[in-house]
Structure formats: structure tokens, C-alpha cells
Homo-oligomer: A and B are copies of this chain.
């Protein structure tokens, strides 16, 4: 059933109800079909890789981390099957399930919550990942008999200098990254997955974001973070296929076979002290970042994509761009896919704003961990940021056919 051509069998509500409770039909017209390059268009769900990683970053994010609250492996496997089916429907612009009477039972709650009726697919992608605690709880319990399938690369992140993590918005057993060009579509997807998961999973934390910082394709312009700087100029991009095999996708032999073709996701909610930043001079801001604010060029260079020259002192030694550069990190790179956030205010007269950092990589032990270790100790930017949440998830390869499902290989 298409959410744009809904045939809802309804009780009291529909046409004919006034004539004595007769069953009515609610019919919707198709919207205009999505055009090429239309932000309303659908991104294919099935494929060798999960969508939402190298997919050109959409404008909006709703990220959710769930705790699994059942101890029954079969219930988890069944939920992942249901979720996969719903994800395939929703990313195609359809509803998560019937909106009208379910299986002809008018007393049943709808299988879709309805707020995306009439909206196009909007580039929705849903990307799933499994956290370390999915395999073995923090208390060491192997709930589902899959502890031995936990990849070594999914090793708990170390505590970094200046970490100010809040456990209640960190971690999680399963995450879903919903990206779309319309926040209502992303929110609808997360909410319906949560609804389907009732009794099996519980929302641990969730985060909305906007203004994709870090383009993931050369077809996109670089967006700006809330420091006002372009972010993601040197990001790994979808077009760098050779580099992606080296740096992004888990290769055969890297670890458990079920992760081959997948990727590891690190999330960090980075609160920015924007009020202090906004009182810093442009020259100092640029020295801290190591790029100029307007064009995004490395200091001493003219164009955004000109290669930085780290030979002299033009780019300060404690600047962000220098410390994060592959040249000083054994060539390690990340595919970043972060979003700006504003979560209202903090009760102290300040906006609660920053960057929800998301990075994908082949092995966090060789990529995010050493890079962040260096940044957390030396980065001049640390005066203006605080990491308040952290997540680590193993994102399996894509779902290849209609009878496959998220994480199926993990449960075989």
C-alpha cells in the first residue's frame, strides 16, 4: 500500500460513517513523480552496501539509538526482518504498513503513523548499526549467544582527554541513521521503527540535525558548520573508489565475514561554545581551524581544494586542519557525515548547539581512535568544544534482496 495512494478501511471516520458505520475508503492521488536530481526522489534501498554512507549527504538527520529490552534472540531476529521490510517501504516513499484497518480488524492501531502521507521519498536512507553491547552487555552477558561474533574492530573507544560524555545519550545496542531532505520524512521513519519495535527495543537516545556538514560526494558543495567554517573539504568522497576500499569498507579477511562490505560508524555529539567563539577575532578563528573562513582555503592557499602546505608555520601546529590531516595520522582518513544541531538553550543563557559528528571507516582502531587521541590532546579548537556523547556501531553490508534482512548473517 502506497502512502500516496492510501486505501484506508476506516470505522467511524470515513465516508459513509454517518450513514450508520459503513466501511469507507480513503483514496489519495499520486503526487507528481520525482524528477532526476529532485530532492524528493528515492534512494535505492537494496544493494551490496547500505545506503546512507556514501550517498550524497542529505540535508537532515534523525539519528536514534535503541536498547534491546528482550532476551529472546528470535524476537530480535524477527524485529530486524520487520524493520528491513518497513525500511524498504519507507525509503521508497511508501508507508511503514497499512494506515487503515489492519488485516481487516478496525480496532487495530494503524501500521503507519500517517504524518508522511503525501510527502515524496525525499532521499530517505536508513542505515543500521550494532553497538558493542548488542554482542555482550556492559555487565558481560551474552544475551543472544553472539558474543563470539563481535568484531575485534568494534572495541570500546578509549576515554579521550577532555571527554565529558553523558552515558544516557551515549552508546546503544542498535542504531539507525535516518537521513532525508525533509525532516518530517526522517522523523516519520524513526518513529515508525520505534513503534514496530515496541516491547523488543526501547529508544535510548535520539538526535536531530540539519545542514549536513561534510559533503560525501564531489557533486556537492561543502557546507558550513556552526563555527561558520566549511566542514568536510578533505572528506573521503563517494567518487574515491580506491580510497574507499582502503579506508571505508571492511574487506575480506578484516574480521568476521558478516561485516565484509560493511563499515564502522563513530558518533560524537560535540557541543560548541559558540558564544565564546563568536567573540574571537577572525584571525584567531582562522589560525585555530587552519583555513580561512570565507573560501575555506588552507592558510596560505587560494582555493578550497588546494593542498595545504604544512612545511612552514603558516598553518599553526595546533590547528585543527593540521592535526586531523592524513599526513600526520599515518594516512588514516574518515568518511564524515555530520550534521549541525541546535537543541534549544542550556538554561545558562546560551544556545545548546554544535556538531553531531558521524564518521564511517574500515577500522576505528586505526582511524578514529588515533586521530581523536591526537586531537583531544593538542587541538586548539578544544577550548571551544566539548564531546558530550559517543557511539560506536558495526554497520553490516547492504540488504541484497527482498528476502534478506538487516544483520541476517549475524543470526544464521
Chain A positions within 8 Å of B, measured between CB atoms, are 6, 8, 10-15, 17-18, 24, 26-28, 60, 62, 64, 67, 99-101, 106-110, 112-118, 168-169, 182-184, 187, 190-191, 194-195, 198, 202-208, 210-211, 221, 223-229, 274-275, 278-287, 291-295, 297, 299-300, 302, 312, 314, 340, 342-345, 347, 349-351, 353
Q: What are 11 A-B pairs with beta-carbon distances under 8 A?
A: A8-B282, A12-B287, A12-B299, A13-B287, A99-B293, A106-B281, A110-B282, A187-B342, A204-B345, A208-B342, A343-B343
Chain B residues with Cβ under 8 A from A28's Cβ? 294-295
Chain B residues with Cβ under 8 A from A295's Cβ? 26, 28
Asked, given contacts A8-B294, A184-B340, whether A13 binds B115 with beta carbons under 8 Å apart, the answer is no
Complex Cα spacing A228 to B119, Å: 12
Residue of B nearest to A313 (CB): B18
Asked, given contacts A10-B293, A12-B299, A198-B275, whether A282 binds B187 with beta carbons under 8 Å apart, the answer is no
Asked, given contacts A18-B312, A106-B281, whether A292 binds B117 with beta carbons under 8 Å apart, the answer is no
B294, A195: Cβ atoms under 8 Å?
no
Asked, given contacts A275-B195, A312-B18, A314-B18, whether A282 binds B347 with beta carbons under 8 Å apart, the answer is no
B281, A113: Cβ atoms under 8 Å?
no
Q: A184-B223, A187-B210, A202-B349 are in contact. List 19 more A-B contacts (CB 8 A).
A: A8-B282, A8-B292, A10-B282, A10-B286, A13-B291, A13-B293, A17-B299, A17-B300, A26-B293, A112-B228, A114-B224, A117-B294, A182-B211, A183-B210, A187-B226, A203-B349, A203-B350, A208-B344, A343-B344
Chain B residues with Cβ under 8 A from A26's Cβ? 292-295
Smallest CB separation, A59 vs chain B (Å): 8
The interface centre, meaning the residue of A13, A114, A274, A286 with most chain B CB atoms within 10 A of its CB, is: A13
The listed residue (B107, B115, B183, B203) touching A281 by CB distance below 8 A is B107
A342, B206: Cβ atoms under 8 Å?
yes
